[in-house]
Amino acid sequence: MLTRLKERFQLWISYEAKLAHSVGLTPNQVSAIGIVCALLSALLYWNSQFHQLILIAATIFLLASGFFDALDGAIARIYRETTTFGSFLDSMLDRYADAVVFCGIILGGLSHPLWGFAALTGSLLVSYARARAEAAGVKMEAVGFAERAERIIILAVASLLNVVWQEALGWGIIILAVLTNLTVLQRVVYFRKSQKEGS
């Protein structure tokens, strides 16, 4: 089921990548649009206490950020515009996007600060663990429960539920705090096992 959904998404994003490329957008430009969407999402989360519609807008920009994150990679792959700097920049901007969104949620009083900090730390370490492992030659894609796409989906669903149940996003952050740090543990175990098998 998940494999089929992933295949459909890859097919859909390839169409969007061709459209974006046809209007002259480069992977780095798309990455820049993505981080702007994340910043807008964070600002809206921060100010969402003023009106529930602001929370919906924050969710839309959060999803847009995730969309552009997938789109930049698709353009780079399809048109062979992948560069070492582009990959580095994309990874850095993704971490900034994660950080500002969580900060917006915490500053907006939508989650307990400690749980928000735990979710933020776990999210950054999920990506760091993958980067360090792959630098050592160990592939980490699909290892663990909470990669970036899953984190965005959980946040988006919790945010929308928060419109009718005001504790939903707080619980969503708790779920993310648990899942992200569990994913880090999974990756540590997987890396250790790979190292033993390779020795």
Active site residues: 94
Nearest to 87 by CA among 31, 43, 40, 35: 31
CA 11 to chain CA centroid, nearest Å = 20
Q: State whether residue 100 is helix, strand or coil.
A: helix
Could you tell me how many residues make up the chain? 199
Q: Say how far apart CA 7 and CA 13 lie, in whole Å.
A: 10
Structural tokens at position 89: 């920049």
Position 94: which residue type? D
